[in-house]
Structure 1
């Protein structure tokens, strides 16, 4: 997230397949960029996307619905205008993408 982004979207699932399904649906539903995923532990995985607020909201909604069909949706969240200090956390996650 080196350049300013309008929003950051996150979806957390229990299970890798749910995360893959969510990521695929996010990328297909709206003009967002998938920036990475993080394995939390005990089967929990979070995927992240960025883009314009409306696009990220639509992508997260679509991704959450897709994740629920094949696995367990734990949480979903959209952060409009994320603070620049989040870059240090996002950089660690986006390396995995």
Structure 2
């Protein structure tokens, strides 16, 4: 099963919180990373099956952009089937902290 990574960057924390909340509720995805990026912006990354990540990203974009006076989405991107090199260098990998939230399909592929 092909997996994807989706990333949303927003201007403010309330907007990234709304996007993250909407994404994990809209699809079978795992939140794998949250951090600050340039100029105080915030970003959140999710992993899961390609179709689920695309569905979750749509919900996250709508929620992040629906924050009057609290910021908007500044950028977003979906990478279907990221190569191992990308996972090794960028903060998009599954971690022990996110393990309890892995969806069953991911758990079956990652754990022997």
| TM bracket (short chain) | 0.7 to 0.9
| Larger RCO, structures 1/2 (Cα 8 Å, 6+ apart) | 1
Question: Whose Rg is larger?
Answer: 2
Partner of 1:26: 23
**TM-score, structure 2 as length reference:** 0.74
Residue 91 of structure 2 aligns to a residue whose secondary structure is helix
Call closer, same or farther: CA 1:10–1:46 in 2, change over 3 Å.
same
Counterpart Cα distance in 2 of 1:16 and 1:77: 19
Task: Give 1:41 shift.
Answer: 3.1
Partner of 1:51: 48
4+ runs of 1 displaced by more than 3 Å?
Answer: 94-97
**TM-score, structure 1 as length reference:** 0.84
- Aligned residue pair count: 93
Partner of 1:9: 6
Counterpart Cα distance in 2 of 1:73 and 1:79: 18
Partner of 2:39: 42
Point out where structure 1 has 5 or more consecutive residues left out of the alignment: none
Point out where structure 2 has 5 or more consecutive residues left out of the alignment: 99-112
Partner of 2:76: 76
